[in-house]
Amino acid sequence: MQEKLEEVNPVEWSDARSALLDWYRTHQRPLPWRESPNPYHTWLCEIIMQQTRIDQGIAYWQRFISTWPDVLSLAKSPLEEVLKAWQGLGYYSRARNLHKAAQILAFDRQGHFPETAEEWQKIPGVGPYTAAAIASICFQEPVPAVDGNVLRVISRFRDVREPIDRPSGRKSIEAFSRQWIHPTAPGIHNQAVMEIGATVCKPTSPRCSECPLSDQCLNVQPESGGTPSVPIKQGKTKVKQVNLHFHVVTNGTHVWMRQRPEAGIWGGLWEFPSEEVNALTSSPVLPHAAQAMQAPDTAIMWEEPFEHILSHRKMRCQFIVWHTTAAFAPSEGQWLAWKSAESKPRPRAIDRFWRRLEKSCSELARR
């Protein structure tokens, strides 16, 4: 990569950078957090938008701003309410870190936000990219914010042939980005590169004719279309296959729920007790914590098994309904009215079936 840097005239960098900023001022999408950037709104945006589609993330960002208009109100809110508002976004460690960070910002720092990327990285849940994005957008610190979009744009722009998912490739791109970033408008610069990656320099069939960097780009594609051979990736993390039973113990009006530990998937969320099994079976065993339940009806396999995909897990899930008319006091979790259970934050794998499952269990109890 160093050879590539030496080949490029700094005047060309400056011309490309000017074209980049001019393009952004005309073509940027009208996103709500761009209207009047401030540290709280920008921080919320960057945390919510991790691993999230822009159309989905906007609704969540607006909900958070409406519910908690400042960092103090977010810090004072119970964690469970934050997890409930986060429901459906996945990666729930982000929500827990968001709440923890809000308390640090509001109470330990008396509402004063960090102004440098180095200081932002001391805040829970804030990594190098997020720290640089906030510091450059809100405090004009000239630090490059390098996310997936930026890795793709710069690897094509400078023809980086090292894998971008390995330190060698990433360091090459970061080195160029530090030299290239606009010294007095770093926030606009960072957003412009990300915007090109999101709207023009897409993973496949980039629209090179619309790109302000096309004159200097080393991977411009012909008008007929095509996808560059870069960025290069060494390989993806292997996806684990999992079979999961959800045990729905109910009397029709109440249901057994438990809170998952903070570590691991769905940390801190509430679920029907689940267990990994070698294979989904029509002869399940009642979980040990429910063994004291008197004479449950035969297990009912509710509807068909379904798939639920997480980043590194492909789950095949099955709801198993255990109906009881006797009193039930599980040795873990809680015996909750369905309405109370519904107020708990829960995984998307359960939430997507909640209404139909509750209705089925109520009808079963009336038979």
| Nearest by Cα to 306 from 348, 355, 264 | 348
Rounded CA-CA distance 153/3 in Å is: 19
| Nearest by Cα to 120 from 148, 93, 97 | 97
Strands 274-277 and 334-337, by their bridges, are unpaired
Strands 300-309 and 313-323, by their bridges, are antiparallel
DSSP letter assigned to residue 101? H
Residue type (1 letter), 180: W
| Nearest by Cα to 190 from 46, 348, 366 | 46
For 40-97, what is each residue's pLDDT tens digit? 999 999 999 988 889 899 999 999 999 999 999 999 999 999 999 999 888 899 999 9
- CB distance 256 to 324 below 8 Å: no
- CB distance 306 to 317 below 8 Å: yes
What are the residues facing 254 on neighbouring strands?
337
| Nearest by Cα to 261 from 210, 330, 333 | 333
**Fold (topology level) of 2-210:** Endonuclease III; domain 1 (1.10.340)
Q: How many CA atoms lie within 13 A of 206 on its CB side?
A: 30
Question: What pLDDT sits at residue 236?
Answer: 66
Question: What pLDDT sits at residue 226?
Answer: 80
**Residue in this structure with the two tokens 């296959």, named with its chain if needed:** 241
Question: What pLDDT sits at residue 264?
Answer: 83
Question: What pLDDT sits at residue 51?
Answer: 83
| Nearest by Cα to 145 from 98, 194, 105, 200 | 194
Question: What pLDDT sits at residue 366?
Answer: 75
Rounded CA-CA distance 295/217 in Å is: 71
Specify whether domain 240-366 bears CATH 3.90.79.10.
Answer: yes
- CB distance 252 to 330 below 8 Å: no
- Rounded to 5°, the CA angle 10-15-21 comes to 125
Rounded to two decimals, what is the model's pTM?
A: 0.81
Rounded CA-CA distance 248/325 in Å is: 14
- CB distance 60 to 86 below 8 Å: yes
| Nearest by Cα to 166 from 182, 177, 153, 155 | 155
SS3 (DSSP) at 277: strand
Domain extent listing, the chain: 2-210, 240-366
Which residue ranges of the chain lie beneath pLDDT 50? 1-6
How distant, in Å, are the alpha carbons of 38, 206, 329 from that of 199?
A: 24, 9, 54
SS3 (DSSP) at 33: helix
- Kindly name the residue from 3, 6, 46, 81 that is annotated as catalytic: 46
Based on the residue annotation, tell me whether 6 is a catalytic residue of this protein. no
